[in-house]
Structures are given as C-alpha cells and as structure tokens.
Structure 1
Amino acid sequence: MDYRFEVAVIPVSDIDRAVHFYKALGWRFDAEFADDEGYRLVQFTPTGSPASIIFGSGVTNAAPGSTEGLHLIVDDVVAAREDLIGKGVKVSEIFHDKTGVFHHAGTEGRVDGPAPGRTSYGSFASFSDPDGNGWVLQEVTTRLPGRD
C-alpha cells in the first residue's frame, strides 16, 4: 500500500493576500472552491512538486502563521534563494546546522554559510509567507538510498 503525502494545510488570516503571495512565487494555482456559508479553499502547488498546499476559511482551526518547517527541496540553494529574492521575498542568509545533520528549530544552532563541501541535505535558507508560516529551502544534490 502506497501512502503518498500530497497536501499540507496552512493557516492564513487573509486569503487574498496569501493568493497574491503564492502566485508571485510562480506556484501553480490549482483550484479554488467557495460556498455561500463562508467556506473557501484555495490550492497551490510549488513548481516541480508533487505536493500542494491548501489554505482558506473553514479548512483549519490552527492559528494563522503557526505552521513551521515546510521544506522545499532544491538542487541549488544559492540559486533558489536568489530566485525568491528576485520575486520580492525576504529570505534568510544561507546556513547549515552546527550538528551537520538537520537544522534545529528556529534559529538555534545555525552556522552562517552553506554546509562544508556543500554536502547534500546540509544547506538551508528560510522564508515566511505574509502570515509567518515558515518555509525552509534545503539543498539536496544526491539523494539517500531508496529516495527518488
């Protein structure tokens, strides 16, 4: 039995502002549904991703901006960061974790610059949407065994 992760729900306070932000990133606008009772759902898919995000009214009880650690896997964290900056997004400097493994929560354990030798899975940059939902760019150049 396959279990494919395909959608993450993120909480936003202003749906139209979020639509504008994600459209400006160049993400694919997949769908929008609404009813006359105030329910509204919007779906976007990041470029090249099999997984999508959903936000809207009546789709989650989570506080706007409370989602953290949404990872966008990229081949080149430097180029991805420059691309986002070119689209008006405030992106952190590139960093790696002091452990050399996965990053700590928040900004704890961050070391400036890419991972030594730009090791796969080791370099990161972060940004947030207008509500503060946190995204992380992670550079993956060589996948671990069993990962496509």
Structure 2
Amino acid sequence: MDWTLEVVVLPVSDLARSIEFYRDRVGFDLDHETENEHMHVAQLTPRGSGCSIVIGNLPAQNEMAPGSMRGLQLVVADAQAARAELLERGVEASELTVFSPEDGGTFFGFADPDGNTWAVQELKVRAAKPLIPIADRGRFGVAD
C-alpha cells in the first residue's frame, strides 16, 4: 500500500496576506479557497509537487503558533534561478550554500511573513526527470 504525503497544514496569522505571498511571490498555484460557517482555508501547491499546503483556521492550525513551522523543504532543478525569481518577486532569500558539490548539495532559504521557514534544495536531475511527469500534473491529470 502506498502512503503519500499530500498536505501540510501551515500556521499563519493572516490568510489573505499568506495567499498573496505564496501565490503571487513564491509562485504556488491556488487550488481553492473555501469559506463556510466552520472554516476559512486555502490550499496552495508548488508547481510540479504532489504535496500542498493548507492555510487558514482549521482546528489543527489553531493549535500551532503562526510562524512555528521550520525547515519545510522545496526542491528545484536550478537553485540560482529559483532564488533570482524569488528576489525579483520581493521575497527575501538567503545566499546559496553549497554543502557538497554533488547534486543535492546546494541550498538556500526563505521565510513567509509569519516566519515559517523553507529550505530550497537544488536537484539538477529534476530538470530532466521531474518527480511528477508534466503530462500527469494538474488537478485532474491535465498538464499545467
């Protein structure tokens, strides 16, 4: 039986500000924003990822302090280009750090407005072999 991680609940203090940050600055896709008498949440997914973040006021989020998540990790094929893209969109990002010359040894980081932190790892192999094939992307198997 496969067990897949598909959602990470991320504690934030301001839903609208966080949607703007993750969608417009970091470049995640906004899958949906749902508001009813029980909740107000949004789900966003990094392009090419099988795992999304959910932000808002679900009970699990209310148990965590906004900004308390540390070291969530994203993977990109080109860390220098990804960092430049974030900087261009107004996201503060750390300098590139090369822990090892092998593929997978280059990182940088950034934080959201609440202080949740992200590490970004370069895996050059993702350029030729994405984790999720392009033809299989999208909400219903439709390519992005």
With structure 2 as the length reference, what TM-score do the two structures score?
0.80
Question: Which of 122, 127, 133 is matched with 2:105 structurally?
Answer: 122
Aligned to 2:87: 85
CA deviation vs aligned residue, 1:81-107 (integer Å, no higher than 9, x gap): 00111111000001134xxxxxxxxxx
Instruction: Establish whether residue 48 from structure 1 lines up as the match of residue 31 from structure 2.
Output: no
CA–CA distance in structure 1, aligned partners of residues 41 and 108 of structure 2: 29
Instruction: Establish whether residue 9 from structure 1 lines up as the match of residue 9 from structure 2.
Output: yes
Aligned to 1:70: 72
Aligned to 1:26: 27
Residue 78 of structure 1, CA deviation: 0.6
RMSD (Å) for aligned C-alpha atoms: 1.8
Paired residue type of 1:6: E
Give the 4+ runs in structure 1 shifted more than 3 A: none
Flag structure 1 segments of 5+ consecutive residues without an equivalent. 98-114
Identity of aligned residues (%): 42
CA–CA distance in structure 1, aligned partners of residues 27 and 96 of structure 2: 22
Residue 69 of structure 1, CA deviation: 1.0
CA–CA distance in structure 2, aligned partners of residues 18 and 32 of structure 1: 12
CA–CA distance in structure 1, aligned partners of residues 20 and 80 of structure 2: 24
Aligned to 1:135: 118
CA–CA distance in structure 1, aligned partners of residues 9 and 37 of structure 2: 21
Larger relative helix fraction:
2
Matched positions, count = 125
CA–CA distance in structure 2, aligned partners of residues 132 and 47 of structure 1: 22
With structure 1 as the length reference, what TM-score do the two structures score?
0.78
CA–CA distance in structure 1, aligned partners of residues 4 and 79 of structure 2: 25
Residue 67 of structure 1, CA deviation: 0.5
Residue 142 of structure 1, CA deviation: 4.0
Paired residue type of 1:27: F
CA–CA distance in structure 2, aligned partners of residues 57 and 73 of structure 1: 27
